[in-house]
């Protein structure tokens, strides 16, 4: 059902190519420029190798590497040269692209945003997402404050983008599906110790929400780290359709047919869990129970999320990884808007 690994496309299907792009050491603006040009060259290569491709997906950190540097000299902006290059190559190749940048943050300048950008085949930014769950205590990024976004991608397919550690929280996949995502994209910079969890969560997120998941990590090594690659395409019943490896710059492609998602969500009874979450026990109760029986959800809404072992949690900030204890308090998008003149 993969269209011979993305070489063929059927009516109603789209082809997505996941690029296990090379992990670079990026310390200077010239390093950043070289990494950006490398990513653009891979967009062109993808178009040559897989002419039917509709969307090309790049990993988190595709131009920044894994240094976790917050040096302003190598941070990006949506109107900067790196994003301009991504927009230009998408328009040139008439292809959609998903890219990663570390972006300046005016709210807390020492703590940048980790951003995923989706650009259409006309070179327009159609989705902007801030990583909601930075991989603490390792990453210094400010937690995303705009929620999970869902957008209409190529072929009218509804898509959601999450980043790396986001995928370890089943609530992220459920939120994307609840808002209509038929395909969930997940980009990462993960290294090999996460391989088993990567496989498990990519498959579980698909099966629990009757949707495709398409995931890819960096590959290869810099002077310190080795990333795992491991591109994965998973179908709406949790079956692996295509799987990558650890080879840097390897492109893994697959046809995605969202009619398989739409049919299941519309017609299934058993295991239609996205619907059943809000309609518990509809055989015994008219329409099913639509309450919120989960304590953690109710507590989170009122700002008092405290797990049973909360007082015993040892690691509570980034000092174990060399970061100073943070001073900024969290501000969501509503709070930020209310402070603007």
Higher pLDDT residue, 6 or 119?
119
- Pairwise CA distance, residues 163 & 93, whole Å: 25
pLDDT digits (tens, 9 = 90+) for 231-279: 999 999 999 999 999 999 999 999 999 999 999 999 999 999 999 999 9
Structural domains of the chain in order of their starting residue, each with its CATH number: 3-270 (3.60.110.10), 304-339 (no CATH)
pLDDT digits (tens, 9 = 90+) for 62-90: 999 999 999 999 999 999 999 999 999 99
> What's the start-to-end Cα distance of the chain, in Å?
53
Residue 265: count other Cβ atoms within 10 Å of its Cβ: 18
Chain center to CA of 307: 26
Is 131 tagged catalytic? yes
- Please identify which of the residues 90, 131, 139, 242 carries the catalytic annotation: 131
Element (H, E) at 90: helix 81-93
Chain center to CA of 231: 13
Q: Which residues contact 87 (CB under 8 A, 6 or more apart)?
A: 119, 123, 124, 125
Is 103 tagged catalytic? no
Which one, of 296, 319, 292, 317, lies nearest residue 308 by Cα? 296
Q: What is the 3-state secondary structure of 120-177?
A: CCCCCEEEEEECCCCCCCCCCCCCCCCCCCEEECHHHCEEEEEEHHHHHCHHHHHHHH
Is 94 tagged catalytic? no
pLDDT at position 339 is 59
Please determine, for residue 341, whether its predicted confidence score (pLDDT) is greater than 60.
no
- Please identify which of the residues 9, 40, 46, 60 carries the catalytic annotation: 60
177 touches 239 (CB < 8 A): no
pLDDT category at 337 given cuts 50, 70, 90 is low
- Please identify which of the residues 9, 164, 242, 255 carries the catalytic annotation: 164
List, as one string, the DSSP characters of 3-47: HHHHT---TTEEEEEEEEPBP----SHHHHHHHHHHHHHHHHHHH
pLDDT at position 202 is 98
- Pairwise CA distance, residues 199 & 115, whole Å: 23
Mean pLDDT, residues 310-326 taken together: 96
pTM of the shown model: 0.96
- Pairwise CA distance, residues 101 & 188, whole Å: 12
- Pairwise CA distance, residues 4 & 27, whole Å: 40
CA quadruple 129, 134, 139, 141: dihedral positive or negative?
Answer: positive
Mean pLDDT, residues 125-145 taken together: 97
């Amino acid at each position: 059902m993969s269209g011979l690994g993305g070489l063929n496309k059927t009516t109603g299907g789209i082809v997505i190519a996941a690029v296990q792009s090379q992990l670079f050491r990026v310390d200077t603006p010239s390093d950043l420029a070289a990494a950006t040009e490398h990513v653009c060259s891979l967009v062109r290569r993808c178009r040559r190798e897989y002419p039917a491709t509709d969307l090309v997906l790049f990993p988190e950190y595709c131009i920044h590497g894994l240094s976790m540097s917050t040096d302003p000299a190598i941070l990006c902006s949506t109107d900067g040269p790196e994003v301009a290059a991504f927009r230009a190559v998408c328009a040139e190749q008439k292809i959609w692209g998903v890219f990663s940048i570390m972006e300046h943050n005016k709210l807390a300048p020492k703590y940048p945003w980790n951003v995923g950008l989706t650009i259409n085949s006309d070179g327009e930014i159609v989705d902007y997402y801030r990583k909601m769950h930075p991989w603490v205590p390792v990453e210094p990024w400010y937690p995303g404050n705009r929620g999970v976004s869902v957008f209409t991608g190529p072929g009218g397919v509804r898509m959601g983008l999450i980043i790396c550690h986001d995928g370890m929280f089943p609530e992220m996949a459920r939120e994307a599906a609840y808002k209509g995502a038929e395909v969930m994209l997940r980009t990462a910079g993960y290294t090999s110790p996460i391989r088993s969890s990567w496989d498990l969560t990519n498959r579980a997120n698909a099966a629990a929400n009757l949707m495709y998941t398409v995931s890819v990590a960096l590959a290869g090594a810099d002077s310190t780290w080795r990333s795992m690659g491991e591109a994965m395409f998973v179908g709406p019943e949790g079956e692996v359709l295509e799987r990558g490896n650890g080879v840097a710059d390897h492109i893994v492609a697959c046809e995605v047919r969202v009619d398989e998602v739409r049919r299941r969500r519309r017609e299934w009874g058993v295991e239609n869990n996205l619907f059943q979450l809000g309609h518990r026990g509809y055989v015994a109760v008219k329409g099913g129970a639509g309450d919120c029986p989960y304590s953690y959800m109710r507590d989170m809404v009122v700002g008092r999320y405290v797990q049973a072992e909360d007082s015993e949690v040892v690691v509570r900030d980034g000092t174990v990884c060399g970061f100073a204890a943070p001073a900024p308090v969290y501000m969501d998008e509503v709070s930020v808007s209310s402070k603007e003149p």
